[in-house]
Structure 1
Amino acid sequence: MPTAEAHASQLKSYFNGIGFERWSAIYGSDPLPSVRRSVREGHNRMLRQASAWLGEHHAPGASLLDAGCGTGLFAVAMARQGYRVTALDIAPRMLETARAAARQAGMDEAIQFVEADTGTVAGRFDVVACFDVLVHYPRELFIDYCTQLARCTDQT
């Protein structure tokens, strides 16, 4: 098993290259082949459900960490609803796309962007969201990263 640092380096390289191309297409609106289209539909359904849950359990103004924010879909949507959002991603290319989406939505001042590995996140948040991220980690790191994210909030 690679060390956490070595794995983070591999992920950063992947999500600045081919991973960016693949995932930004899924997060986008251009036509996709059927398998990727079904991934997009599932991802969008998950974000809608998370948004609804957040609205039921936390009032606007609550602090939210979007760990592995990708192109910023969830971060921008939650900032629009009045949440205090920190958008974290390991890949500068993903963060730049998220920043551009926030600027276009007029939300760039409402979101704090952080380039970091999910396993190194620090701080306290009312809510921690982490979509389509931990699947990219081996089991040993997965458990450590889940624990680290859980330490960032008192919520269950």
Structure 2
Amino acid sequence: MADYHATRARVEDYFDRSATKVWERLCSDAPVSRIRQTVREGRDAMRAMMLARLPGDLSGARILDAGCGTGLMTAELARRGAEVVAVDISPQLIAIAQQRLDPRHAAQVRFSAGDMTDEALGSFDHVIAMDSLIYYRAHDIGAILQRLTLRTQGKVVFTVAPRTPFLMAFFMAGKLFPRADRSPTMIPHAYEDLAKVTGDGLARVGRIDSGFYISECLEFRP
């Protein structure tokens, strides 16, 4: 998984070096630009779509929030009664998520800065990975899903950037004009290509298209 580790290092560097403040503001009630407002609304809609794939009452369930960011998904999972392992590669985002978590749910959540596939995190009933696989190539996504499902009894609900003309234009522009700040490049995927590397068990859930936020929800059950 050499590609995976190289990409993970770029994403970690990007979020801890230059993107933390942007995401802290985006994932809050603070005023943002019109473009970022469409992203915020899109992410809110996607979070609701993903949560709808899990039972309303998660009491007693152990859930991995893989790529928890500032903790919005973690907080909702805890409100539903889940025991949550919230992991993110960015220690700064983990710190924000810890600060924002309602103290009433603190005992239900274990925060961890590191790799979402780390076996030391334990086993789970379900896994949610919102926008945390969008920088990886298809073969890496397949490998990540295989590693996660070995320790997951239920489903892995995750998002990818769909292969649309709009997103492909951005992707190709990034390849033609590499970014000097080493920010990671989101990689669009066709569902059929992902199905080839994941095998049976991959299913479409739905797509959110909100301004500059375009994301597809999928789920995987071996």
If the TM-score is normalised by the length of the shorter chain, which range does it land in?
0.7 to 0.9
The farther-off stretch of 141-150 and 90-99 is 141-150
Deviations 1:110-145 (A, max 9, x none): 101111122435521111000011002233322222
**Residues 1:114 and 2:90 are matched in the alignment:** no
Deviation at 1:105, TM superposition (A): 4.1
2:45 alignment counterpart? 45
What TM-score do the two structures reach when normalised by structure 2? 0.62
Kindly report the root-mean-square deviation, in angstroms, between the aligned alpha carbons of the 2 structures. 2.1
Sequence identity of aligned pairs in percent? 29
- Structure 1 letter corresponding to 2:20: F
> What SS does the corresponding residue of 1:32 show, helix, strand or coil?
coil
Structure 1 residue runs of 5 or longer lacking an equivalent are none
Kindly indicate whether the alpha-carbon contact (under 8 Å) linking 1:92 and 1:115 is maintained by their aligned counterparts in 2. yes
Structure 2 residue runs of 5 or longer lacking an equivalent are 155-220
Matches of residues 91-110 of structure 1 in structure 2 within 5 Å?
91-102=90-101, 104-110=102-108
Kindly indicate whether the alpha-carbon contact (under 8 Å) linking 1:76 and 1:105 is maintained by their aligned counterparts in 2. no
Q: How many pairs align?
A: 154
Whole-Å separation in 2 of the counterparts to 1:35 and 1:146: 32
What TM-score do the two structures reach when normalised by structure 1? 0.85
Whole-Å separation in 1 of the counterparts to 2:78 and 2:13: 28
Whole-Å separation in 2 of the counterparts to 1:91 and 1:153: 23
Matches of residues 7-46 of structure 1 in structure 2 within 5 Å?
7-46=7-46
Whole-Å separation in 1 of the counterparts to 2:106 and 2:20: 21
- Structure 1 letter corresponding to 2:116: T
- Structure 2 letter corresponding to 1:112: R
Deviation at 1:10, TM superposition (A): 1.7
Between Structure 1 and Structure 2, the one with more strand by share is 2
Whole-Å separation in 1 of the counterparts to 2:35 and 2:142: 28
**Residues 1:69 and 2:68 are matched in the alignment:** yes
